Structure 1
């Protein structure tokens, strides 16, 4: 220690104000003269006294004060530094399993003594939870007056929060607290006790500093979702991209001044990556669709060129076309698929087969009538609009297993019907002249599948195609995306296939060959046996999403195609002459459903994780708002007792009284923080209450009793005019909170020069209930009105409050579908207008 009195005074003042715990230790020896077994305390500065719970010159040794299991490690460290004379540091955890709170000790030999400094996770001023726990245990052992109940400390609570939490003090953002999740985001030395600008240069730190500066200067909370940040988690210089939901809130002292910022954030990387993967899958599917369209266009161009080259065979082709037309006509009359042709932009019915008539009207439909007149609401307006869009653009429209509204008939009772259908434009002389409507009733298949699988069928992307030049029924079949094939005789000779069917078997010659020869895989996989059955019995067979494995004609691994199809027999002269095949390639639908099932499973896991996070946060709020009140109250009581016990000369000597005042303000700030956390927690739950018919007059009278002391103390005059709307449909507790906050604010922010006059009015308009609270108080500027409803916003400091009342009112009103507005003038008063939806409006919205 210095010998000069002036130097000694300066050094003592520095030791007293130091936020770092400091101690001078003297070695104690055992039976042998050189066996150092323990240390005695020669001196503890005030920070060390507060952290260890010991006086300035304790009459106890190190081991006697700290008999815990890990303390011999600290003792061994101190003995090594004293014996070798080499300064060093020691880091440990409490408890020693390393799962909770860390602390740090630095030591250096100074002559016959050992100089020691020690810090905890909250920085030099905070002290480690391990030392704080020991100080508490020592105080309990001394006073024997505290109850033997478990204590909860803020650091321990915040360390368990499943989120990133940190607090920064002052304009330089000195880190006062950071839980392990938060510290994991910064590489290099410990962040605690250091300005954020001195932290390692992680990607995104400039933006973080800018946000903290803005919150600290303006007092406005900041919230951002899915912010991309690159961080060095492995401490190797390799940056990892993560996405965070950020919440920055201003921290205020007892006088309402901003003293720091709370950084509260969640890691939402997994949710963002799931959404990105879904978008990538959609982009891949879109690219595949564009490739398919280009391939179809190239094939159409090739077919057009082939028709020109083979013009000399037109007569034979015409005869074949007539034969195919006759076969197709028979097929149209016998098939269960509903087919119609519409002409012109007015969607005039040009042709429909019997299946279409049975399905949509139950009676013959004469041609020449507009679609809207024929069906009169049987088809949904959006599908009628889709028909018009196909006619206008030439882009096909497909629906897969969609529900269509059909008028009930004697043969068809009213119940949901599901169809796979397509709208395709057809052309004459290069221009669109009509639209073909091709529908297949898959209700039985959908209902059967839904009995075993609750997943809804996903709509498939529409396949586009260029319309053909001629509008015959043959052209309609050539242009439809449905795969159509006509088979003759028992050996299933292929008489006709449209391009869609040919695409199912690329590189194979189909026409004129038997199905067994053209597609031997069909026989091996049981499809030919099904055709034999239909030909023999005449009973139609429906197949839903059945796989067909084909060997590519050019070699390579086999491919699997999923088909939804129907096998139907057709007759000539009263006898079965052949079979028709109508099929849809649903491979993309099946594969997409599998992918979506995987995504849903992933989404379920994410939802469960979010639920657990929400539960953990509720637990944290409960602990912070409930269990912390008792120890903070005890500390406040001990401070009051200390003021009473200290002699007047000791109380007013030196820095004793200022230190006690600072401790009291710290307790008050902590209590204010607990109150704010409680209010925020309540705000997350209040909007879940059901609406009821509330007697507004009775509710206001009940509030008048609660406000009676304030009304009497201020000499206020409260006028209530609510006869125009005696009942309001709202959650009772929420409506009470809204009215109470507005009335209490009118009294709280009254003008000092006159008694308050407050008027509560209510009126009903079309579908809305309007509440107005008008006062003659202080009034607000335009700038204050813009900040009025912000979280933790307080515009006047002469009255107590948390700055959350009007924020909660706005949330309650908007959660119910209403609005709140304010009109004010400085010195004259303020009017709040709350507009709430009426009971009838709520009912219509639910319908």
Structure 2
């Protein structure tokens, strides 16, 4: 017994036909009597006696893998000629009994296993050929009977045979034409780029074209007779099954389905049209499906939609950017313009460019030489020609130009920062020049004025320094002689008191003059960039400070100077220069403080430095003067002691000497705290 899951080949099918012959005949008789002779006019089918032999013929056919033509014709004549006509049955009834036999036989076989597609086609072909032979024999018999009954003579019999021959020839020609038409139809179907298939009511393939074979990767023999779900797979059937049911129900429609699982992997987008077919009773008997794979088309459409969206977005962004650029150009504080062609015709200018060129003159659509003829002799046309010819940009600052900006013929000298940028067409050729510019006339004139003032200041400073250097150098020798003479005279004990005081005043004046000369020499060296020379060596400032203060105090014998020393006062300093620093600070403190007030000098040793502070209780230095106090020829207070004949270089020299020691000087001055100069000297 064959397993239900086993595929029934030709030999297996033949064995089952012989084994189930009685069952097939019984079911066939019941269905024929029920469906054809339901009215009771007959109780026995017309083919009842001939069917056992026909079933044996079918078994031999599927077993031999071919249709035996002679046997088929004999069986048809036997079934139809002897069976049908003897019983008074019509040709339609005979054909229907064959169709019922086909259905019963297939149902019985499929209950035992799955019929191989090739075997199933042979069964169908054998039954179809029997039906055709029955129809042909019926036609021949009918014509022969008509002629035999009308003709009783031998001539009539001969005519009947001749007519039968003609009918046979017509049948053969008709058969040939049908086969030719089928071949032509097959060629047409195979040439179409769409997938065409016929699926019967049992969802089995009855026809597929070449495109269908190629799309599924299966030959036609592997498709015909198989069910739809077997070929397309359960996943695809789950998507397409509802459409199949509609087609089998007789609905004519077209649909498009995306993401249908594909038997060779992935998914496909398909567009399918269903056209139902009907049997003689007008009932749906299958459908013809035309399928197109629109996956590539849909993907291209999606990509096109994306590109169109991107293009629309890019256009919108470009339009927005263009509008913003136009607004920027329109409101920009710089001059912007564009000229085109070898004659440099103005194509665009913004309001600022028009303003700088002169609003009285029209620019757009005019060549530069025509719009501004005054620039021809100034080399601007040649400059534009060079940029246009070479494609090299040009940029320059403070470019002079003489323009008729008022339209009265008077040329006004102005200055611009300019940039000329060549504009290229898609072929890479220069087609114009873009212009960008700023007017810098006021800046240029201000710079020219500053340069002139700087030149004058440098000339004056050089003269002053030369004069001071010459004067101070030429005074040193006479002053040295005076000091030597007064020193000798002061040592003479014979001088009376009046003469001694005179000598002392002369000596004091000469000392002041000598200090002034030294200050002028130091100032000259500092201003010439040479710096004040120092020769540092280790020194204990705590021990030296009192002597330096006392030298200054001699000029103010009635004043009090308090000295406070705290900590280690050792530092690498130039003793003479430090005496100069202490002398200038103490001298100024005594000079610019009340006569009845004391001056405080504090020396403090710290880990990293030695700090010197000189404090007085005089009128505070105004804040606006403090920033300039260390500049040459500057003084703190408006009231000056003209007897001192100071030139205002003391604090300037103090600052330079301290900085030469890598130190710094600080100033604090207020009404409540007085004035304090602080010197920081690194160890």
TM-score, normalised to structure 1's length? 0.29
Structure with more helix by fraction: 2
Higher gyration radius (CA) = 2
TM-score, normalised to structure 2's length? 0.36
